[in-house]
Amino acid sequence: KRFTRCGLVQELRRQGFDESLMRDWVCLVENESSRYTDKVGKVNKNGSRDYGLFQINDKYWCSKTSSPGKDCNVTCNQLLTDDITVAATCAKKIYRRHKFNAWYGWLNHCQNSLPDISDC
């Protein structure tokens, strides 16, 4: 599934994301996955991969096996579904621990310019 920008905003609101950070989350998702729920990233330098809307890394956060594991206690495949509840819960956990610094898409593109979501 590919979200529209406003569709993403509505879904993030439904998932309980902080309204004051909404533009940061939208910017992060647009730069990490282009709003695609099923995106699997290219292999990173350390051999890990990133999964789903929030491009969550399998080195620390999700298990590549069929058993849930790592810090979010999920499988990486659970992060690729159109229902983003599992991915959103994991992304919020990562944010609580590292803020937006955990995501290069945010670090490289969102610190000085955030998307306009005023129409959403």
* HSE toward the beta carbon, residue 70, CA cutoff 13 A: 19
Structure-block tokens of residue 85 = 């509840």
Q: Which of 11, 24, 30, 50 is catalytic?
A: 50
30 is catalytic: no
Q: Which of 32, 58, 82, 83 is catalytic?
A: 32
Q: What are phi and psi of 37, to 5 degrees?
A: -75, -25
11 catalytic per annotation: no
What residues pair up with 40 in beta bridges, in sequence order?
Answer: 51
**Which residues carry out catalysis?**
32, 50
